[in-house]
Amino acid sequence: MYKITGRIVRIDPMEVKSATLSLRQFVIQTEEEYPQTLLFQTKNERTALLDRVRVGQEITLWFSVKGNEWNDKVIINLNCYKIEGVELPVRGAQTPSTVPQTSQGQVSDVSSGPALNEDGLPF
């Protein structure tokens, strides 16, 4: 198992793949000299871990790396097992209580992200 800390950029809705498998993916960005944007997933009963956190929140998570070969390609998944919210305020960051919400009470997207070029890529 590995441990990493970062700010949540995106939380996707749950995907039901079969009667025995449901997945929920989310993206974090680390706050290092060279920030990394990483996609993690939770499976089955652990999808509920994401109900306690919000976009813009800094978290620490524990995960494992799982690799499989499929159709002559190697697929790597970062499987999250535990999430803890970090309570330290960060300059300019919105806390979960101040994250903008829609009229239905859903959290709206607060990520402005980098400007995209004509290819739709930020670089």
Residue 108, helix vs strand vs coil: coil
Which pLDDT score is estimated for 54?
94
- Alpha carbons 85 and 57: distance in angstroms, whole number: 7
The residue range of the domain holding 27 is 2-98
Digitized pLDDT (tens) for each residue of the chain, 123 residues in all: 899 999 999 999 999 999 999 999 999 999 999 999 999 999 999 999 999 999 999 999 999 999 999 999 999 999 999 999 865 555 555 544 444 445 454 444 444 445 555 555 555
For residue 103, is it within any domain? no
For residue 94, is it within any domain? yes
According to DSSP, residue 101 is labeled B
For residue 11, is it within any domain? yes
Contacts of 118 (CB under 8 A, 6+ apart): none
Answering whether pTM is above 0.75, one says no
Residue 10, helix vs strand vs coil: strand
Residue corresponding to tokens 């190697």: 74
Which pLDDT score is estimated for 85?
85
Which pLDDT score is estimated for 99?
46
Which pLDDT score is estimated for 69?
95
Domain count for the chain: 1
For residue 44, is it within any domain? yes
For residue 49, is it within any domain? yes
For residue 48, what is the domain's CATH number?
Answer: 2.40.50.140
Which pLDDT score is estimated for 7?
97
| Sequence letter at residue 47 | T
For residue 68, is it within any domain? yes
For residue 14, is it within any domain? yes
On whether the CB atoms of residues 56 and 26 are closer than 8 A, the answer is no
